[in-house]
């Protein structure tokens, strides 16, 4: 890392904490070298971090002539962050330690078409239940990150419309949950969270740009540029679900027609499966809007086990996604892409194969560099883990501030 931390920066403390976090085990001398600060400043900052219990001394390093340096590391178990994925099909809560390592999770019924204030009341109660179940004190929680689908208004605080949960339009999630729970709440788009989750768990260097395609009920895309979420004018970048794939295609709820979401998302796949009554009966599809995601999972699991009709349906969906991703890769000269979210939980390998093959053979820059595709290892939990990362980052390392208005 370049020497870029000025001693006058008010975020110096958090920057040093982040250097310790990303370095694993470091000495004060290492910190002087990587930060460009004076030894006296580092000593002073480390002292405050240690008195807050955020950093501990773990032993001695190798001597390079003088006395052996004391090693420092993040006191991972000293504080916790909560991440919540507000999803139609299931509410997922994860709790991570300071290092982003999972210490527990709770899953309960999804938000479905429940009235938002009722959901907030339930979340507040479930947060208390979860902390009791994990034996964690409220005072050790730095904040609660919330990942949800939809648009944010100009203040950045309101998570707005989605097809599946129209009541959430104009409902102030952050304010309502803060008032109910007493925790500091951070709100971020679910696809951006999924992307941040990949970044935060340390699999990707901060210098690398990448995109995460996130599929749950809808489809979104988180773009990480130089370690931060790219937000655009209103923190709403990444709506790849409304990229127009077929100008004469079916009408979309957004006002356009032929959007990716109308062609490739779980609803489109389930509708095609329902049109084949033999297939729908043999899979036991319900066709109820409230069971949409379960119906999709049934199709995806049958496809993963080789059912030809289901394989064809998933391949068709994957083909549309691949076309959108070729356009995205061409537009921003992407060389790294992750597939994440519950939409890939069961038939991820089919999506992976088709998207990889098409990017290999059709991306415009393929003769210059390949586009590396991976299925996210954090899979279903990626949005919730990313939301926890947003809380950790915003609270502990604000110099890395996420690009949104939170």
* Alpha carbon distance 371, 354 (integer Å): 13
Q: Strand, coil or helix: what is 144?
A: strand
* Alpha carbon distance 97, 76 (integer Å): 6
Q: Are 300 and 342 in contact (CB under 8 A)?
A: no
- Interface pick for another protein out of 110, 143, 218, 238 (rule CB under 8 A): 110
Site string for another protein, 356-395 (x = CB under 8 A): x------------------x-xxxxx---x----------
What letter would DSSP give residue 368? T
Maximal C-alpha separation, the chain: 79
What letter would DSSP give residue 69? P
Residues contacting residue 49 through CB under 8 Å, at least 6 positions apart = 13, 16, 17, 20, 55
Q: Are 172 and 157 in contact (CB under 8 A)?
A: yes
* Alpha carbon distance 193, 195 (integer Å): 5
Q: How far is the CB of 1 from Zn ion (least distance, A)?
A: 41
**Tokens standing for residue 251:** 């009408």
Q: Which does 156 bind (CB under 5 to 8 A by kind): Zn ion, another protein, none?
A: none
Tokens 């208004």 belong to residue: 153
Provide the pairing of β-strand 219-225 with 210-215.
antiparallel
* Alpha carbon distance 100, 102 (integer Å): 6
Site size for another protein (CB under 8 A): 42
Positions that interact with Zn ion (CB under 5 A): 242, 252, 254, 256, 259
Q: Which does 311 bind (CB under 5 to 8 A by kind): Zn ion, another protein, none?
A: none
304 is an interface residue for another protein by CB under 8 A: yes
Q: Which does 256 bind (CB under 5 to 8 A by kind): Zn ion, another protein, none?
A: Zn ion
Instruction: Beginning with the edge strand found earlier in the chain, give each strand of the sheet holding 25-27 in spatial order.
Output: 25-27, 70-74, 55-60
Q: How far is the CB of 133 from another protein (least distance, A)?
A: 5
Which of 28, 105 has the CB closer to another protein? 105
145 is an interface residue for another protein by CB under 8 A: no
What letter would DSSP give residue 68? P
| Options 63-71, 132-140, 143-151, 261-269: segment touching another protein (CB under 8 A) | 132-140
352 is an interface residue for another protein by CB under 8 A: yes
| Options 41-49, 157-165, 304-312, 323-331: segment touching another protein (CB under 8 A) | 304-312
257 is an interface residue for another protein by CB under 8 A: no
- Interface pick for another protein out of 45, 201, 237, 406 (rule CB under 8 A): 201
284 is an interface residue for another protein by CB under 8 A: no
Q: How far is the CB of 255 from another protein (least distance, A)?
A: 33
Q: Which does 32 bind (CB under 5 to 8 A by kind): another protein, Zn ion, none?
A: none
Provide the pairing of β-strand 80-86 with 102-109.
unpaired
Tokens 């949800």 belong to residue: 148
- Interface pick for another protein out of 151, 160, 272, 301 (rule CB under 8 A): 301
Q: Which does 108 bind (CB under 5 to 8 A by kind): Zn ion, another protein, none?
A: another protein
Q: How far is the CB of 269 from Zn ion (least distance, A)?
A: 17
Which of 242, 366 has the CB closer to Zn ion? 242
Q: Count the Cβ atoms, other than its own, within 10 Å of residue 226.
A: 9
134 is an interface residue for another protein by CB under 8 A: yes
Q: Read out DSSP for 184-229?
A: -EEEEEHHHHHHHHHHHTTSS-TT--EEEEEESSSEEEEEEETTEE
Residues of this chain that bind another protein (CB under 8 A): 76, 90, 99-110, 126, 129-130, 132-135, 201, 294, 301, 304-306, 345-346, 348-350, 352-353, 356, 375, 377-381, 385
């Amino acid at each position: 890392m370049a020497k870029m931390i000025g001693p006058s920066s008010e975020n110096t403390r958090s920057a040093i904490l982040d250097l310790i976090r990303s370095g694993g085990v470091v000495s004060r001398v290492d910190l002087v070298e990587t930060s460009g600060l004076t030894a006296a400043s580092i000593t002073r900052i480390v002292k405050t971090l240690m008195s807050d219990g955020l950093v501990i001394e773990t032993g001695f390093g190798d001597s390079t002539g003088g006395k052996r340096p004391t090693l420092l590391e993040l006191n991972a178990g000293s504080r916790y962050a909560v991440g919540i994925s507000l999803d139609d099909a299931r509410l997922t809560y994860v709790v991570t330690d300071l290092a982003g390592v999972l210490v527990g999770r709770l899953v309960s019924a999804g938000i479905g078409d429940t009235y938002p204030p009722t959901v907030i009341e339930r979340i507040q109660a479930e947060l208390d239940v979860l902390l009791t179940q994990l034996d964690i004190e409220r005072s050790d929680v730095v904040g609660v990150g919330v990942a949800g689908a939809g648009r944010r208004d100009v203040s950045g605080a309101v998570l707005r419309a989605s097809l599946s949960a129209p009541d959430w339009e104009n409902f102030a999630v952050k304010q309502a949950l803060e008032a109910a729970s007493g925790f500091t709440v951070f709100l971020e788009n679910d696809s951006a969270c999924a992307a941040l989750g990949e970044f935060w768990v340390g699999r990707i260097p901060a210098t690398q740009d990448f995109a995460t395609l996130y599929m749950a009920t809808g489809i979104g895309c988180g773009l990480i540029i130089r370690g931060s979420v790219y937000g655009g004018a209103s923190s709403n970048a990444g709506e790849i679900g409304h990229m127009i794939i077929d100008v004469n295609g079916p009408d979309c709820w957004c006002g356009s027609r032929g959007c990716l979401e109308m062609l490739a998302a779980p609803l489109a796949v389930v509708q095609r499966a329902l049109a084949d009554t033999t297939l729908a009966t043999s899979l036991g599809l319900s066709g109820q809007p409230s069971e949409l995601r379960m119906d999709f999972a049934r199709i995806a699991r049958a496809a993963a086990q080789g059912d030809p009709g289901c394989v064809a349906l998933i391949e068709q969906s994957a083909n549309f996604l691949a076309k959108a991703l070729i356009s995205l890769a061409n537009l921003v000269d992407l060389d790294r892409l992750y597939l994440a979210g519950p939409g890939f939980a069961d038939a991820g390998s089919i999506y992976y194969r088709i998207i990889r093959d098409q990017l290999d053979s059709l991306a415009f820059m393929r003769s210059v560099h390949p586009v590396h595709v991976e299925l996210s290892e954090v899979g279903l939990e990626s949005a919730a883990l990313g939301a926890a990362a947003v809380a950790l980052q915003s609270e502990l390392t604000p110099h890395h501030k996420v690009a949104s208005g939170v």
